[in-house]
Structure 1
Amino acid sequence: MFPYALRSIVLLLCVASAQALTLDEALVAAQNYAPDLIVSRSGAAAAQSLTLSAGALPDPKLSFAIDNLPLEGEDQYRIGKSMRSIGLMQEFPNAGKRAAERQIATAAWQASSAQYRFAQLNVQRATTLAWLSLYYTQEKDQILDAQVIENQNSLNLSRAAIAGGGTVDSALAAQLETQQLADARDDLNSEIQQARALLARWIGPDRAAEPISGSLPVWQREPTSNDQSDQFSQQPDLHAASSQISAARAELALMEAGKRPDWGLELALQRSDMGQNQAMVKVSFDLPFFTASRQDPKIAAATANLQRAEAEKTARSAGYRQQYAELNAQGNALNSQLQRLKQQTLPLIQKQTELALAGLQSGKANSNAVLEARKTKRVAQLRALDLTSRLAAIQAQIFFLTGGH
């Protein structure tokens, strides 16, 4: 029994010396660590910067020109015998184009911001699920610890019985249970390592190595709305889809504005070879004559993109409704199984274990029946924890899905 007592003391000392990680602390750590948020945050910042220049006039152009430069004769290549000019030109896209460009940039920024919030939501959900997984693996560890203590007691009793002239059946059965518990311990250690690796993905390996502590959250499910589209209205993914629709509409407006001409203005100062100063004013206009082969195909493509964006939002909404229905169905089934296990199965197993112990004490049964009853009890307890863990994960997903966050 000494190795197990020593193990428990060491475990308690480690837990006391280490900082315990609550769910709230894990969520805060994820906001500061998760690389996905850094990517989305940078994308939103870049999109916001582009809104500052959207719809602005093109840069003006400065021009220098030499006209009538002699290439032959006595004045060959003499700039003083040519017409020299310096000019400034500014192009003016039509107002529809500039307004559409501003709308596109604003919609892109809104979509990027919504994607950032969507990434935040995903990180919160993933961190919560990883924390819950680790929490329940630690609960399983306590069940195995209790079984190990019971097994050690059985080994001590069987050895004492052998010393008093009893059979070795009890000792063999207890040793077999020891091997089974060792296998279960290996499986559980693997689960714990996987759960910590998953949590480290979001909060970093140092924080994920801390023991889990704190109470479980109480999930407040959002009230069901008659209009299911309202139930998921807080989903950033749908906000991003709406922004993408706005961007597609602005793109269509930009293509349609291509049918209206842009214009440009150029001012120049000239000096002739006679030393006379002159001025030049030039106005230019685009001539969108061939719209059937130039602007119309672009308008058709923008119209198709708008239809695609609207269809994508509809598909996302349908996906959320399907996911919500599936989670509810799974949660109802798990809750029914868990209640049946707690209210009916576990009491029956406990009674079976007590009868086996009573039979062993009265000499009417052997230790195999006791060990088998304990194994059945351990399996049922672990199954109850597994059902509880899966149900908590589903409740968390519904909580995040319906905007409870």
Structure 2
Amino acid sequence: MGSANRRRHQVALASLCLLISGAAAGLSLDRAIQLAQANDPWQQGSQLRESALAAEAISASTLPDPILSFGAANLPTDSFDIRQEGMTQTSIGFTQRLPRGDSRLLMSTQKRQLSQQQAMLRADRRAKVAVTVSQLWLEGYRAEQSMALIERTRPLFEQLLTLSRSNYGAGLARAGQQDIISAELALSRLDDRLLMLQQQRDTARDQLSEWLGTEAITAFSTDTFRDIRIRDIKDRRLTSALQAHPAIRAIEQTIAVAQSDVALRREQYKAEWAVNAKYAHRADDPLGNDRADLFSIGVSVDLPLFTAKRQDQNLSAAQARAEANRTDKALLLRKMMANLKTQFNRLQGIDERLTLYNSRLLREARKQVSVNLNAYQNDKGDFREVIQAQIDALNVDIDALNLRIDRQKTSVNIAYLLAGEHHE
């Protein structure tokens, strides 16, 4: 009995500290989302990738660097005298390669498209972070509020224990030792639930710390949830909203990149040109007569004559990748639409259950407690029925809380799926 009492006092003290800390300071859901999005290093990495791709787009649009060459030709091997032979010359040359067709423009376009995609990926990441943090926060809030409900009900069970001991000590015929054991068991079960909920709350805090950085979480503040109403969802143009979702727009950008790649592969069928020029100096002859210098200019071309094994295969691969990306978009749209319908139906079912709880179950559970307690006090009821009625009332309160949390979780999922409405 002593260890059980100490355990109850520890749980009560922990719950009291919880309530005090929650009153002093609490982490709101909006604040948690803001902190997580602000502390997300992925966002900074995405911005750096965008800058890198933008720089590569500029680089890809420029001509290749020219080639400068120096040489000496036709040196006589018997003396290596540059004046001995008229054909001996020292030269400087210049070569400029001209890439195939519009390949420079297309490569630059690809890099620019990939750079623009980063903004869409960041928007999708922010929306996903909001969902993840909201789910964790709501789990912590669920545990904390459940603990508060149990702690609020605990004095009633303690009063029932005191009542059973008084009746048993007074030798009343209706009182038995089993009543005391039933009351003690109920309190012990409450202690166990409190410890379990405390562990769940601490787990949610630990998981949130991954997203919030050094922000200390003392408690979860009581928020007024901004739930989505069913009639709002029914009136929305869901298909257009999903088409504007950042994740879908990112895939569309991937499709655009693939289409640019197809166009780039078509350019490989065109010729690649190179312009070269060379100036050659000849030394005076052995008699001191001046020799004319020489200048050469020419054009070279790379002709793709045999395309079956390389150009044709590269083009076929690029076209297949583009079609595969379109398939990915269709699959994601189908998945998101099915998920949205599922969440909508879930929201509707939760609302129906909440209506039942608010209109009947909560009131009936409290009425059952009152009726059983009055019957016991008038020697017409069983003590264990009083205990069970009180447990049922607590369970109904916690179930109602769970429904409200589940509704908010569903609303968060719907908000993510409709995130495109905020980015149109």
Q: Answer whether TM exceeds 0.5 for this pair.
A: yes
How far off its partner does 1:306 sit? 1.3
Q: 2:43, 2:117 → 1: CA distance?
A: 15
1:138 aligns with 2:141: no
Q: 1:219, 1:15 → 2: CA distance?
A: 23
1:187 aligns with 2:196: yes
How far off its partner does 1:79 sit? 11
1:323 aligns with 2:335: no
In structure 1, the residue matched to 2:314 is: 298
CA contact (8 A) 1:55 1:98 kept: yes
Match of 1:387 among 400, 403, 413: 403
How far off its partner does 1:244 sit? 0.9
Aligned partner of residue 102 in structure 2, secondary structure: helix
Code of the residue aligned with 1:354 in structure 2: it is S
In structure 1, the residue matched to 2:80 is: 75
In structure 2, the residue matched to 1:350 is: 366
Q: Following superposition of structure 1 onto structure 2, how do residues 330-341 of structure 1 map, counting pairs within 5 Å? A: 330-341=346-357
Q: 1:277, 1:148 → 2: CA distance?
A: 108
In structure 1, the residue matched to 2:21 is: 14
Code of the residue aligned with 2:252 in structure 1: it is S
Say which is worse superposed, 273-282 or 178-187, in terms of deviation. 273-282
In structure 2, the residue matched to 1:200 is: 209
Say which is worse superposed, 354-363 or 222-231, in terms of deviation. 222-231
In structure 1, the residue matched to 2:297 is: 281
CA contact (8 A) 1:54 1:98 kept: yes
In structure 2, the residue matched to 1:257 is: 267
Q: 2:377, 2:240 → 1: CA distance?
A: 64
Cα deviation 1:16-69 (Å, max 9, x = unaligned): 55x421222112211222244344333333323322222221122222222224
In structure 1, the residue matched to 2:288 is: none
In structure 2, the residue matched to 1:56 is: 62
Aligned partner of residue 85 in structure 1, secondary structure: strand
Q: Following superposition of structure 1 onto structure 2, how do residues 3-152 of structure 1 map, counting pairs within 5 Å? A: 3=9, 10-17=17-24, 19-70=25-76, 72-75=77-80, 82-152=88-158
How far off its partner does 1:181 sit? 0.7
CA contact (8 A) 1:225 1:231 kept: no
How far off its partner does 1:136 sit? 2.2
CA contact (8 A) 2:27 2:217 kept: no
Residues 9 and 330 of structure 1: CA distance in aligned 2, closer, same or farther (over 3 Å): closer
CA contact (8 A) 1:34 1:201 kept: no
**How well do the aligned residues superpose, as a CA RMSD in angstroms?**
2.6
How far off its partner does 1:259 sit? 1.2
Amino-acid identity (%): 23
In structure 2, the residue matched to 1:211 is: 219
Q: TM-score under structure 1 normalisation?
A: 0.90
How far off its partner does 1:164 sit? 3.0
Q: Tell me, which stretches of 5 or more residues in structure 2 are unaligned?
A: 285-290
Say which is worse superposed, 393-402 or 213-222, in terms of deviation. 213-222
How far off its partner does 1:356 sit? 0.8
CA contact (8 A) 1:107 1:243 kept: yes
Say which is worse superposed, 297-306 or 263-272, in terms of deviation. 263-272
Aligned length: 401
Q: 1:132, 1:285 → 2: CA distance?
A: 67
1:309 aligns with 2:351: no
Q: Tell me, which stretches of 5 or more residues in structure 1 are unaligned?
A: none
Aligned partner of residue 232 in structure 1, secondary structure: helix
How far off its partner does 1:141 sit? 1.2
Code of the residue aligned with 2:189 in structure 1: it is Q
Cα deviation 1:283-335 (Å, max 9, x = unaligned): 21121211233312111111111111111111111111111111112222222
Code of the residue aligned with 1:53 in structure 2: it is S
How far off its partner does 1:389 sit? 1.1
Q: TM-score under structure 2 normalisation?
A: 0.86
How far off its partner does 1:208 sit? 5.5
CA contact (8 A) 1:44 1:116 kept: no
CA contact (8 A) 1:60 1:91 kept: yes
Residues 174 and 80 of structure 1: CA distance in aligned 2, closer, same or farther (over 3 Å): farther
Aligned partner of residue 74 in structure 1, secondary structure: coil
CA contact (8 A) 2:101 2:271 kept: no
How far off its partner does 1:252 sit? 0.7
